[in-house]
Amino acid sequence: MPAPRSLTARAERDQPKQLVVRGSTRVVGIIGDPVDHSLSPVMHNAAFAALGLDWVYVPFPVKEKLLRQAVRALPALGLVGVNVTVPHKEAVLRLLDDVSPLASKVGAVNTIVVRAGRLHGENTDVFGVQQALRGVALRGGTALVIGAGGAARAVVAALEQIGVRRVIVANRTLARARNLQRRFSTPAFQVESQPLSSLQDPRYVSVARLVVNTTSIGLHGEKFPAMAVEASPAECVFFDLVYGRQTDFLRQARAAHRRVMDGTEMLLQQGAAAFRLWTGRRPPIEVMRAALATTPRSGGSRSTWSPS
Ligand SMILES: NC(=O)c1ccc[n+]([C@@H]2O[C@H](COP(=O)([O-])OP(=O)(O)OC[C@H]3O[C@@H](n4cnc5c(N)ncnc54)[C@H](OP(=O)(O)O)[C@@H]3O)[C@@H](O)[C@H]2O)c1
């Protein structure tokens, strides 16, 4: 006897959606080394499924010495584009046909779009930071940025666009902080460089409306250098680009009852911007957010910790 229609419909609804890749499927992805920890595939594939798009997002592990071959092959393979992650965001710049003024200013590309066989480079990390910080009053204020790598440059570019007046960059290698200062400082946007020990100096922490960790300390549970958190204004926000875990940086801020944010919203928003660039469609943000929230992190743990 055939099953009642309502039962069949429910069974179909409850079936996990199967990913079907055909000859017509449009392909995007991520290149980096490593890429196995990346949450971008689940976020983008959930978005494609929700909009009924015949698209797929694939992680491609690419070693440094093969970067040129991998990038130049994108048009030949018919890919629509890729995200670029560590360690290729800077090296990829010179392999592209054109780069947006923003990506060029930041000196890093995190999104490639293939247009008529040409490789175009964009930086959507800057937009991701801006969006993540939209609830924080920063215009005209001072921010303390810890780290001076590619992510720090995206953060500083975003802070400039938001209207922050002064940024103090504290980094282990002072020369790198100085490079960042030279790249961004203008009379209207003051960027200073300091050693990492300045985090313990109340003179720097007490003027900050925002303290951002852009270093990778905490990614694997490492202890963060001591900070003079108590000297920060009560409304100061502590923002860690590392996502989905209670890092020692955020633990120190929480212990002093400061507001904290992790890097999940930045990850989501930079991904949403890349989605829009590739598909021309409005990204289903809530679907992407839910996919990030429900996916177990590497090591098997689900993101049960949530920033305030
Ligand atoms: N949430 C997101 O969407 C998002 C997006 C982009 C990046 N990120 C995260 O941001 C982090 C940095 O990425 P990146 O591309 O900027 O890397 P990067 O270019 O390699 O820069 C790493 C930075 O961390 C510092 N650092 C590393 N280990 C350190 C240690 N033990 N003590 C002190 N400083 C240390 C480095 O200092 P030196 O200059 O002294 O070496 C440098 O300033 C990563 O954790 C990445 O996952 C998150």
Tokens 């079907």 locate to 20
Residue 238 pLDDT greater than 80, yes or no: yes
**To the nearest whole number, what is the mean pLDDT of the chain?**
92
Q: Give how far Cα 103 sits from Cα of 11, 96, 151, 191, 305, Å.
A: 47, 12, 12, 19, 32
**Can you tell me which atom of ligand 1 is nearest the CA of 147?**
43
Per-residue tokens: 235 = 């409304």
The more confident residue out of 302 and 127 is 127
Quick one: which H or E segment has residue 151? helix 150-162
Q: How far apart are CA 187 and CA 159, in angstroms?
A: 15
Q: What is the mean pLDDT of residues 247-272?
A: 97
Per-residue tokens: 209 = 């409306």
CB 207 within 8 A of CB 232: no
Residue 203 within a domain? yes
Residue 305 within a domain? no
Q: How far apart are CA 255 and CA 241, in angstroms?
A: 19
Distance from residue 218's CA to the centre of ligand 1 (Å): 10
Q: What is the mean pLDDT of residues 89-101?
A: 97
Please indicate whether residue 21, judged by its CB atom, sits closer than 6 Å to ligand 1. Answer: no
Given this model, what pLDDT does residue 296 score? 74
- How many domains is the chain built from? 2
- Min mean pLDDT across 16-25, 186-195, 202-211 is at 16-25
Tokens 């499927």 locate to 25
118 and 163 part of one domain:
no
Please indicate whether residue 176, judged by its CB atom, sits closer than 6 Å to ligand 1. Answer: yes
Percent of the chain with pLDDT over 90: 86
Q: What is the DSSP letter of 32?
A: E
212 and 134 part of one domain:
yes
Given this model, what pLDDT does residue 245 score? 86
165 and 231 part of one domain:
yes
**Can you tell me which atom of ligand 1 is nearest the CA of 216?**
45
248 burial level (CB within 10 Å; 0-12, 13-18, 19+): middle
235 burial level (CB within 10 Å; 0-12, 13-18, 19+): exposed
156: CATH = 3.40.50.720
Report the residue among 35, 176, 215, 266 best suited for mutation to probe ligand 1: largest number of ligand atoms under 8 A from its CB: 215
Q: How far apart are CA 84 and CA 31, in angstroms?
A: 5
Please indicate whether residue 267, judged by its CB atom, sits closer than 6 Å to ligand 1. Answer: yes
Quick one: which H or E segment has residue 291? helix 285-294
The residue from 262, 283, 303 where one domain ends is 262
182 and 239 part of one domain:
yes
Given this model, what pLDDT does residue 12 score? 53
Residue 195 within a domain? yes
Please indicate whether residue 266, judged by its CB atom, sits closer than 6 Å to ligand 1. Answer: yes
Q: Which residues, 6+ apart, have CB-to-CB distance to 248 below 8 Å? A: 217, 218, 221, 222, 223, 224
Please indicate whether residue 271, judged by its CB atom, sits closer than 6 Å to ligand 1. Answer: no
155 and 251 part of one domain:
yes
Please indicate whether residue 243, judged by its CB atom, sits closer than 6 Å to ligand 1. Answer: yes
Residue 96 within a domain? yes
Residue nearest to atom 20 of ligand 1 (CA): 149
Find out whether the peptide bond into 2 is cis, omega within 30 degrees of 0.
Answer: no
Q: What is the mean pLDDT of residues 61-88?
A: 97
Find out whether the peptide bond into 59 is cis, omega within 30 degrees of 0.
Answer: no
40 and 146 part of one domain:
no
Q: What is the mean pLDDT of residues 109-130?
A: 98
Residue 307 within a domain? no
Please indicate whether residue 148, judged by its CB atom, sits closer than 6 Å to ligand 1. Answer: yes
Q: What is the CA radius of gyration of the chain?
A: 21
Given this model, what pLDDT does residue 220 score? 86
Residue 301 within a domain? no
Q: What is the mean pLDDT of residues 122-148?
A: 98
Per-residue tokens: 191 = 């960027």
Distance from residue 108's CA to the centre of ligand 1 (Å): 13
80 and 13 part of one domain:
yes
**Can you tell me which atom of ligand 1 is nearest the CA of 146?**
43
CB 205 within 8 A of CB 231: yes
Given this model, what pLDDT does residue 307 score? 45
The more confident residue out of 1 and 140 is 140
137 and 233 part of one domain:
yes
pLDDT in tens, 159-195: 999 999 999 999 999 999 999 999 999 999 999 999 9
SS3 273: helix
230 and 160 part of one domain:
yes
Is 89 assigned a catalytic role?
yes
The more confident residue out of 60 and 10 is 60
Given this model, what pLDDT does residue 112 score? 98
Q: What is the mean pLDDT of residues 81-90?
A: 96
Q: Which residues, 6+ apart, have CB-to-CB distance to 172 below 8 Å? A: 195, 196, 215
Given this model, what pLDDT does residue 301 score? 44
Residue 303 pLDDT greater than 60, yes or no: no
Residue 32 within a domain? yes
Find out whether the peptide bond into 87 is cis, omega within 30 degrees of 0.
Answer: yes
The more confident residue out of 142 and 304 is 142
What's the longest Cα–Cα distance across the chain?
A: 80
Catalytic residue among 63, 65, 89, 223: 89
Number of neighbours of residue 177 by Cβ within 10 angstroms: 25
Residue 69 within a domain? yes
Given this model, what pLDDT does residue 295 score? 85
231 and 142 part of one domain:
yes
Residue 101 belongs to domain spanning: 5-123+266-294
104 and 201 part of one domain:
no
272 and 212 part of one domain:
no
Residue nearest to atom 7 of ligand 1 (CA): 151
Q: What is the mean pLDDT of residues 21-43?
A: 95
Residue 8 pLDDT greater than 60, yes or no: no
Tokens 């409850």 locate to 14
16: CATH = 3.40.50.10860
The more confident residue out of 245 and 106 is 106
Q: What is the mean pLDDT of residues 276-286?
A: 98
Given this model, what pLDDT does residue 4 score? 53
